[in-house]
Chains A and B, each alone.
Chain A
Amino acid sequence: MTGILIGLVIGLPWLGALVLWRVSDERPRLQHALAVAFSSAAGFASLALIPFASAETAVRIDVGRYFGELTFVADGLAVSLTAIACVIGALAVIFSMDYMRAEAQLSRYYAFILLFIGAMAGLVLSGNLLFMFFFWEITALCSYALISFYNDDPKAVAGGVKALLITQVGGIGLLAGALTAYSALGSYQVSDLLAKAETLPSNFLALTAFGFLIAAAAKSAQFPFHTWLPDAMEAPTPVSALIHAATMVNAGVYLLARFYPAFAQVPGWTLAVTLVGLVSALIAAFMALAATDLKRALAYSTVSQLGYMVYAIGVGGVLASQFHLLSHAVFKALLFLAAGAVIHASGTRDMRRMGALGKQMPFVRNVFVFGALALMGIPILNGFWSKEMILEAGLSHGPIWALVGMVMVAGMTAFYTLRMTWLVFFGEARESRHAHEAGRAMKVSLGLLGLGAWTTWLLIEPFSALLQHTLPFHGISSLNLSELSHEIFAAPLTYAALIVIALGLGIFWMVRKQAAGRRESWMDVLSRESFGFEWLNRRVASWTVGLGSVLQRTQTGVLSWNAVGILGALLIVLVFLVWSVK
C-alpha cells in the first residue's frame, strides 16, 4: 500500500505534467481544470501516505550493478515534506487559476509546476543517494524554467540563469559527497550511510559532510550562496510561493536534517552549520529592513527563516527545525500568495507606491496580517511555537553568542514584517490606485493557509511521534502539547525573545512616517550588493567569459589543426599505454 501511494504521489503529478504538455493553449479552462485535478489528487495521496509512514524501505527496484537499488523510504521526514509539497502545491495551483487567468502558454507553466511537485516528492522519499541527486537536478530545472517563465523579460531570464548556476554549484557538492560515500561504503543507500557513518575513514566522511553542506547552502540560498533568491522573484508569484518559500528551498534543510546523525561527529561540521544559519539569518534580516520591493522583502525573509532552520540543525534541534519548516511553509506561502493578490490588483511591486490597500482588500489584509503575526513569532500562531523551540534548543546545546544573534534577528524580523504590512495595507494611500479584492480561487487558497497559520502548531504531538518512530538514527523524542507549552512558557528565554520582538515593533512604530521615503541610503546600497557578494558573482561571470574567449582560439575551423588535435590525443593515449604496460 505504501508503495502504491508513493507511486501515486510521484506519478500523478508527472502524468499531469505530460498530459498538460499536450493540451493546447487554446483551451485555458481545460488547462486550469486539469492542473487543479492532478495537483489535488497528489495532495490527497500525500496526506493518505502519512499513516503508512515507517522506517522500512517501501519500494525497492534493482537498477543494475552501477546504481545499486532504487529505493523509496516513507519515513517521518519524507512524509511530512511530501505532504507540504503536494498540499501547498495544490493550493498554489488553485491560486493560479485566478492569478494566471490572462496569461499565455499556461501548458508550459502547469507542466513545469506539476513536474516540480513530483520531483520534490521523489527527492525526499528517495532512499538512494544517486537518485536523490537525480530528483534534486530535476527540481533545479523546474525552478529555472519557472523563474524564466516570462522569457521575453531579460530580468526574468537573468534571474533564472543565476538561480540555476548557483544551485548547480551546490549540486556538485551533493554528487561529490554521494560518490565519496559510495567509494567508502560500496552502497548508495541512505540507511547504510546513516548506520555505518562511524566506520568511514574520517577524511571521506568530512568530504561528504561538507559537500552536502555546500549543496544544502546553495539550494536553500544560505550564506555564501544567498544571492540568487531575491533575483528569483521575477517568477510568477504562485511559483515563488511554492518553490522559493515552501518546498525547493527546504530541500537543503531536509538534506541537513536527514544526514545529521551521520555528520554530527565530523569535527567542525555542526559549528559550520550553525554559523551558516546565523550569518544568513542576520544579513538577510538586515537586507529586508530597507527593501522596497514587496517580493524581495519576502525573499530576504525566507533566507532569514531558513537560517533559523539551519541554525537549529547545527545546535542539534532537528525536531525544532522540522517543526519550523512546517510552520514556515504555511505562513510564508500565505504571505507570498497574499502579496501576489496585492501585486495582481495594484499592478506594482514597489511598496513605496502602495498604501492603505487594506480598505480596498479587507480579506487579503486579514490573511496577510495572520501570516505576518506568525512570521514575527507572536503567540499563539504557529511561528511562535516553532521559533521558541529553536531558541530553546540553541540555549541548551549551542554557543551563547549564536543565540544572542538569533534573538536579535527575531527583533529585526518583527521590524521589517511590521514595516511591510504597514507600507502595503495601512497608513495613507501614497498613490491613488484602484485595487480590487482577490478572486474566489485566490480566497480559497489564502483562507486555507490562514487557517493553517493558526492551527498547525497543534500537530506537535503526532508530528514528533511520527519522527520518533520512523527515524531510528536521530534520537528524537516525542513531545505533546502540554509538555510543549510548559517548556515554552516556563523558560525565561521566551519572555526575553518576546521583549526583543516588542522592541522591534516599537522602534518601527516610532519611525513609521519616514518608512515610505524615496531617498536611497547606505542600507539600500548594501542590500543591493548583497554585502559584496554581487561583486563576487560578477567577477566569476566575467572571468568565465574571459576564459571562454581565450579558449576560443583553439577552434580555428581549419581541418589541419583539427587533425593536429586528433593526433595529439593519439599521442597521449599511446604514451599512457606504453607507460602503464611497463
Chain B
Amino acid sequence: MNLSPLDIVLLGTVLLLAVGFYGLLITRNLIKLVLVLQILVKAAVMALALAGKSSGNLGLGQSLAATVIVADTVVAVVALALAVQVRKHAGTLDVTKLSSLRG
C-alpha cells in the first residue's frame, strides 16, 4: 500500500477530528468543552493547510487557516467569560444541571 505523505496527514487530521467529536459528546464540564472545541479547531486548521497543499494554493489555504484561528480564539475567549459568569450565577459548570432551556 503506498501512501503518499498527504494521505498520512489526512489520516492524522481525521483522527484528531474524531477525538474532538467524541470529546464533544462525552464532556460534561463547560471549560473542558471549550478545550475540546480548540482540538476541533486544530483539526480544521490542519485540514485547510492540507487542502491548500494538495491543490497547489498554499497561500489561500494559509490565509483561510489564519482566519479560522482568529475566529475560534475569539469564540473561546467569550465562551470562557460566559463560563465564569455561569459559575457565579448558577453555581455549577455541569452541563446536565444547566438545562433551563428544556422544552
Contact = CB atoms under 8 A, between A and B. Distances in A.
* Chains A and B directly touch (beta carbon < 8 Å): yes
Interface of A: 552, 554-560, 563-564, 567
A563 B24 contact: yes
B33 interface: yes
Interface stretch (B1-9, B55-63, B95-103): B95-103
A567 B102 contact: no
Contacts, number: 32
A567 B96 contact: no
Interface residues of B, number: 15
Contacts of A554: 103
A564 B25 CA distance: 6
Given A557-B102, A558-B96, A563-B25, 6 more contacts: A555-B102, A557-B100, A557-B101, A559-B33, A559-B95, A567-B24
A556 B98 CA distance: 10
Contacts of B27: 560
Contact of A556 (B24, B25, B33, B102): B102
Nearest to B33: A559
A272 B40 CA distance: 60
Interface in B24-75: 24-28, 33
A556 B99 contact: yes
B93 to A, nearest CB: 11
A270 B27 CA distance: 64
A564 B101 CA distance: 16
Contact of A560 (B25, B102, B103): B25
30 contacts: A554-B103, A555-B101, A555-B102, A555-B103, A556-B99, A556-B102, A556-B103, A557-B99, A557-B100, A557-B101, A557-B102, A557-B103, A558-B95, A558-B96, A558-B99, A559-B33, A559-B95, A559-B98, A560-B25, A560-B26, A560-B27, A560-B28, A560-B95, A560-B96, A563-B24, A563-B25, A564-B25, A567-B21, A567-B24, A567-B25
Contacts of B95: 558-560
Closest CB pairs A-B (n = 10): A555-B103, A557-B99, A557-B102, A559-B95, A557-B101, A552-B103, A563-B24, A558-B99, A558-B96, A563-B25
Contacts of B26: 560
B86 to A, nearest CB: 11
Contacts of A563: 24-25
Contacts of B24: 563, 567
**Which residue, A552, A555, A557, A564, has most C-beta atoms of chain B within 10 A?**
A557
Contacts of A559: 33, 95, 98
B41 to A, nearest CB: 16
A554 B99 CA distance: 13
**Which residue, A554, A555, A560, has most C-beta atoms of chain B within 10 A?**
A560
Contacts of B98: 557, 559
Contacts of B99: 556-558
A4 to B, nearest CB: 52
B27 to A, nearest CB: 8
A410 B98 CA distance: 67
A399 to B, nearest CB: 53
A554 B103 CA distance: 8
Interface in B77-103: 95-96, 98-103
A108 B33 CA distance: 49
Nearest to A559: B95
Contacts of A558: 95-96, 99
B17 to A, nearest CB: 11
A558 B26 CA distance: 12
Nearest to A554: B103
A401 to B, nearest CB: 53
Nearest to B36: A563
Nearest to B99: A557
Nearest to A553: B103
A563 B27 CA distance: 10
Contacts of B96: 558, 560
A564 B100 CA distance: 18
B84 to A, nearest CB: 17
A157 B80 CA distance: 46
A552 B26 CA distance: 23
